[in-house]
Amino acid sequence: MADVKTSLAQFEEISSNPQRLLQNYLDADEKVIACFPIYTPQPLVLAAGMVPMGIWGGQCNAHMAGKYAPIFTCSLLRSCLEFGMTGAYKGVSAAIMPIICDTFRGMNSAWRAGVKDIRPITFIYPQNRKDPGARDFLIEELKTVRSALEEISENQITNEALQEAIELCNQRNAAMRTFCETANEHLDLVKPVDRHHVMKAATFLRPEETIERVSALTEALRAEPVCRWTGKKVILTGITCEPDEILGYFADNKVAVVGDDLAQESRQYRSDYPAAASGMERLALHWFAVHGCSVAHDDNNTVRGRMLAQLAKEQAADCVVLCMMRFCEIEEYDQPSVIKEVTRAGLMSFSIDIDQSTTESGQALTKIQTFAEN
Ligand code: SF4
């Protein structure tokens, strides 16, 4: 029990203080590359001998960012821009920005105007994922990322180094999936916010550190008696489910999180880089292996809802909670079809607003309480 508590406390510390971790890397003379969400090709950063660190914004009132980002920009990118402009990412060598939605197109220019000291490295994920030329297009895009990283690191990225880095990331994915499965047997010890801290810390840590720490936590959990959870269970879907207070509302009402499809959490770890002779091809093929994700267009709009219904069934969940990032058009676009499929499968669903510019979550509390009481 003590091992589990100590480990969870360490994950909370990392998740809540990424700047401290960044400073540790910089003090060790590491070059750090900030990785905007989602599906940033982290293996390229590792193969160049640098550290990839995810950036997910955070709770803030974005005063400075308002100069370049309109009020209807999602709070995730608005807070990232605010932190960039106010020096929170000081010391990182560059920021990789995958253009996965229209908001990112504006962010590219806003970042260049507002954050002069951190070079953006942008590339485009093709939303037409069926065209035979899409794979080659993406490889060409990724080559521009590779060149920029080679220039910054002054290292050449070889196919061998890239393949090694890809294998490491696949091992990290496996460790994260195993943790999630094991955590579901110990819902008395791993509260929704604890689960979130583990998942979020993994976006900041080097993959090898994640594997070591998460595997140790999983082993410590396995040594504990299995918990027979008698409260309700939910699956979360969306971009993020922050701030921590919202996850606290679930725990306060004896509702456990037994699975997720959050971009900040499981979406990153559920599909591995497929096998191929060249590392660049593997990075590109990964994009075409992504399914049921709002940022990767799928002609069949039932895929995500059916995937969530299946996950809920496997984990005996009662409900799918849509965590709607305010002003995220692509999540809003998916919402009706997700609700339709989930309802068709006989499950409950409700949505809560996610907005990093405010700590007011009264609406979420009311919905969670209502669900828990019925
Ligand atoms: S996908 Fe949604 S949350 Fe993510 S950057 Fe685009 S608008 Fe913002």
Per-residue confidence (pLDDT) for residue 61, from 0 to 100: 85
Question: Above 80 in pLDDT, residue 6?
Answer: yes
- According to the model, what pLDDT value does residue 141 have? 98
Taking the chain, what is the end-to-end CA distance rounded to the nearest angstrom?
33
In terms of Cα–Cα distance, which of 293, 364, 355, 352 is closest to 327?
355
Helix (H, G, I), strand (E, B) or coil at 285: helix
**In a mutational test of the pocket of ligand 1, which residue from 71, 76, 81 has the highest number of ligand atoms less than 8 Å from its CB?**
76
- How many domains does the chain contain in total? 1
> How much of the chain, in percent, has pLDDT values that exceed 90?
91
Annotate 94-116 with b (16+ C-beta within 10 A) or e (fewer).
bbbbbbbbebbebbeebbeebbe
Distance of CA 305 from the midpoint of ligand 1 (Å): 19
Q: Give distance in angstroms: CA of 65 to centre of ligand 1.
A: 16
**Do the beta carbons of residue 35 and residue 69 sit within 8 Å?**
no
C-alpha dihedral (132, 331, 315, 272), degrees to nearest 10: 30
Instruction: Give the pLDDT band (50/70/90) at residue 218.
Output: very high
Question: Tell me, what's the pLDDT at 291?
Answer: 92
Instruction: Taking residues 140-160, report their average pLDDT.
Output: 98
Please check whether residue 223 lies inside any domain of the structure. no
47 — pLDDT class (breaks 50, 70, 90): very high
The pLDDT, as a whole number, for residue 130 is: 87
138 inside domain: yes
Asked, for residue 291, whether it belongs to a domain, the answer is no
Is residue 210, in this structure, part of any structural domain at all? Answer: no
Q: Which CATH number fits the domain that encloses residue 134?
A: 3.40.50.11890
Residue 120 resides in a domain: yes
Atom of ligand 1 nearest to the CA of 294: 1
What confidence tier does 229 reach under pLDDT thresholds 50, 70, 90? very high
- Does residue 107 have its Cβ closer than 6 Å to ligand 1? no
Which pLDDT does position 306 carry in this prediction? 97
Task: Establish whether residue 104 lines the binding site of ligand 1, counting it when its CB lies within 6 angstroms of any ligand atom.
Answer: yes
pLDDT at 359 over 90: no
What average pLDDT score do residues 199-208 get?
98
- Ligand 1 centroid to Cα of residue 328, in Å, is 5
Domain of 44, in residue numbers: 29-158
Q: Provide the pLDDT for residue 59.
A: 86
- Chain Cα centroid distance, residue 153: 25
pLDDT score of 37: 95
How far, in Å, from the CA of 329 to the mean position of ligand 1? 8
**Residue 131 falls within a domain, yes or no?**
yes
Q: Is 101 in the pocket of ligand 1 (CB under 6 A)?
A: yes
Q: Which residues contact 230 (CB under 8 A, 6 or more apart)?
A: none
For residue 362, pLDDT beyond 90: no
**Which ligand 1 atom sits closest to the C-alpha of 331?**
2
What pLDDT score does 63 carry? Answer: 87
Instruction: Give the nearest ligand 1 atom to 107 CA.
Output: 5
Q: How far is CA 79 from the centre of its chain?
A: 16
Residue 259 lies in a domain: no
pLDDT band at 356 (very low <50, low <70, confident <90, very high): confident
* Res 238 pLDDT > 90: yes
What is residue 227's DSSP assignment? P
pLDDT in tens, 49-83: 999 999 999 888 888 999 999 889 999 999 999 99
Mean pLDDT of 299-316: 95
Asked whether residue 201 is domain-assigned, the answer is: no
The CA 307 to ligand 1 mean position distance, Å, reads 21
Give every CB contact of residue 293 below 8 A, 6+ residues apart in sequence: 261, 263, 267, 304
- Give the residue-averaged pLDDT of 220-227: 97
For residue 45 and ligand 1, the question of a CB distance below 6 A is answered with no
Q: Say if ligand 1 is within 6 A of residue 65 CB.
A: no
Is residue 132 over pLDDT 90? Answer: no
pTM of the model: 0.96
pLDDT digits (tens, 9 = 90+) for 90-119: 999 999 999 999 999 999 999 999 999 999
